[in-house]
């Protein structure tokens, strides 16, 4: 399909292939028979080739490596740190580009690095897109680039100047820069804006354990602190805040999670993100913005109930409205609040992401319902992967059958 000057089909030039979403896009394209030209960096003493090889193993697609071409780059350098002839050759090949690399940290203390990675390094990547007729520049942005102004977010350029953190702000600035460049140079383009992406809904597998995983892991840490206290210290700390073991084996942990309103958490699994993105790449509409988001976002109360069931906890409540006075909060509440602070804007969100363009591109494909079975699979995988620390040492690749892994933590 070819709409409004945007051409489908690869090979594709991809950035961010060593990350969570980029690696899934890479694997999805390779499985479809497309070629992928990866521009990425070495890290932790490992070359780009070694990092990609490990990811191919994780996906169980080592046999597809001949469809890959790798270019080790440094996005902070002019021409992405590539040799002048290498950069020029890439530019002349007129490949469609998927720019997925991004510094995804939220904290203000990282402002300089986030802005440099997400906005400053754009020039070198965009310049690769100047010229040839086959090019389309696909920018992976974020639904949250919409900012914090309005409740109804349409698939249109960002107008907000109010953002929850530097990451959102940088994605909005990057979108504007991409749009301005592509319009000026006549480059066909799309912007793909995912909501919060978690693991594969069918297998539970994931490469990243932030966002959805963070509150669950925080509750698990709290549970383990108090279980240790009940074991070794005869429950001195526990007694002070009403924590006790119940006869059915669950831990009673009185903890109020205070959120300002009933809002929602917009979650999509990575298998859905990948399928939707591949559908968009198949029929890109020049200039279109796509919200890859859920029509039926989850509520914090549901996520809390799933977490309590998975972790064998009771006593956790979600309260809407003003936070209780500091002096009435117990230590687990203080700690939990501290753990989840960066994610607060996303757990009681009133924003609704309209998705007309995405529906048209994907045949109105919906993400699966976020039910307890999906949640359990994802959390079992997270525990088996030790929240990312043992990611590449879990036995079995993508082909590993469900149920063969160690049992999760459900008590």
Question: Which CB sits closer to ligand NAP, 388 or 397?
Answer: 388
Instruction: Please answer whether residues 117 and 101 qualify as being in contact, where contact means their C-beta atoms are separated by less than 8 angstroms.
Output: yes
Question: Which CB sits closer to ligand NAP, 17 or 258?
Answer: 17
Q: Measured between alpha carbons, how far is 395 from 118 in angstroms, rounded to an integer? A: 35
Burial of residue 295 (number of CB atoms within 10 Å: 0-12, 13-18, 19+): middle
Q: Measured between alpha carbons, how far is 160 from 292 in angstroms, rounded to an integer? A: 20
Smallest distance from ligand NAP to CB 259, Å: 20
Give me the helices (H) in 118-165, please: 122-126
Helices and strands (H, E) in the chain, number of each type: 14, 18
Smallest distance from ligand NAP to CB 137, Å: 14
Smallest distance from ligand NAP to CB 323, Å: 26
Smallest distance from ligand NAP to CB 352, Å: 16
Smallest distance from ligand NAP to CB 201, Å: 14
**Nearest residue to ligand NAP, scored by beta-carbon proximity:** 19
Which stretches of the chain bind ligand NAP, using CB under 6 A? 16, 18-22, 40-41, 43, 75, 100-104, 117, 140, 142, 171, 194, 196-197, 208, 211
Instruction: Please answer whether residues 378 and 198 qualify as being in contact, where contact means their C-beta atoms are separated by less than 8 angstroms.
Output: yes
Smallest distance from ligand NAP to CB 16, Å: 4
Per the DSSP assignment, residues forming a β-bridge with 46 are 43
Give CA separation, 260 vs 150, 264, 299, 321, 395, in Å: 16, 11, 13, 4, 42
Question: Which CB sits closer to ligand NAP, 190 or 238?
Answer: 190
Question: Which CB sits closer to ligand NAP, 37 or 196?
Answer: 196
Question: Which CB sits closer to ligand NAP, 91 or 208?
Answer: 208
Q: Measured between alpha carbons, how far is 394 from 384 in angstroms, rounded to an integer? A: 7
Smallest distance from ligand NAP to CB 236, Å: 40
Between CA 358 and CA 370, with CA 364 as vertex, the angle to 5 degrees is: 95
Q: Measured between alpha carbons, how far is 356 from 171 in angstroms, rounded to an integer? A: 21
DSSP per-residue codes, 349-403: B--EE--HHHHHHHTS--PPP--HHHHHHHHHHHHHTGGGTTGGGSSS-TTPPTT
Per the DSSP assignment, residues forming a β-bridge with 285 are 3
Q: Measured between alpha carbons, how far is 298 from 287 in angstroms, rounded to an integer? A: 30
Question: Which CB sits closer to ligand NAP, 194 or 284?
Answer: 194
Question: Which CB sits closer to ligand NAP, 177 or 409?
Answer: 177
Question: Which CB sits closer to ligand NAP, 267 or 361?
Answer: 267
Smallest distance from ligand NAP to CB 2, Å: 26
């Amino acid at each position: 399909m070819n709409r409004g000057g945007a051409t489908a089909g690869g090979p594709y030039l991809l950035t961010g292939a060593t990350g969570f979403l980029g690696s899934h896009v890479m694997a999805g394209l390779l499985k479809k028979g497309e070629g992928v030209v990866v521009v990425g960096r070495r890290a932790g003493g490992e070359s780009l080739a070694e990092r990609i090889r490990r990811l191919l193993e994780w996906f169980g697609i080592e046999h597809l490596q001949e469809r890959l071409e790798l270019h080790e780059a440094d996005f902070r350098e002019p021409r992405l740190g590539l040799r002048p002839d290498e950069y020029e050759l890439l530019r002349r090949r007129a490949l469609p580009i998927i720019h997925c690399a991004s510094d995804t940290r939220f904290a203000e203390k990282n402002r300089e690095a986030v802005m440099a990675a997400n906005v400053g390094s754009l020039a070198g990547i965009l310049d690769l897109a100047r010229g040839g007729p086959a090019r389309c520049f696909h920018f992976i942005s974020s639904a949250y680039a919409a900012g914090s102004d309005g409740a109804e977010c349409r698939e249109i350029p960002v107008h907000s100047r109010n953002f929850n953190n530097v990451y959102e702000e940088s994605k909005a600035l990057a979108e504007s820069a991409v749009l301005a460049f592509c319009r000026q140079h006549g480059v066909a383009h799309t912007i793909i804006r995912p909501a919060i992406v978690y693991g594969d809904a069918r297998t539970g597998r994931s490469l990243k354990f932030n966002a959805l995983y963070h509150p669950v892991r925080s509750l698990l840490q709290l549970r383990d602190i108090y279980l240790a206290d009940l074991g070794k210290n005869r429950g001195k700390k526990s007694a002070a805040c009403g924590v006790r073991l119940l006869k059915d084996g669950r831990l009673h942990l009185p903890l109020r999670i205070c959120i300002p309103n009933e809002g929602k958490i917009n979650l999509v699994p990575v298998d859905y993100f990948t399928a939707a993105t591949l559908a968009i790449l198949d029929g890109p509409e020049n200039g279109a913005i796509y919200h890859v988001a859920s029509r039926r976002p989850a509520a914090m109360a549901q996520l809390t109930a799933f977490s309590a069931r998975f972790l064998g906890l009771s006593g956790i409540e979600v309260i809407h409205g003003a936070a209780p006075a500091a002096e009435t909060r117990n230590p687990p509440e203080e700690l939990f609040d501290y753990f989840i602070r960066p994610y607060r804007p996303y757990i009681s969100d009133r924003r609704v992401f309209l998705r007309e363009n995405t529906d048209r591109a994907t045949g109105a494909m919906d993400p699966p319902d976020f039910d307890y079975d999906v949640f359990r699979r994802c959390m079992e995988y997270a525990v088996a992967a030790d929240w990312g620390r043992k990611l590449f040492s879990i036995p079995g690749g993508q082909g590993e059958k469900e149920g063969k892994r160690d049992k999760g933590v459900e008590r």
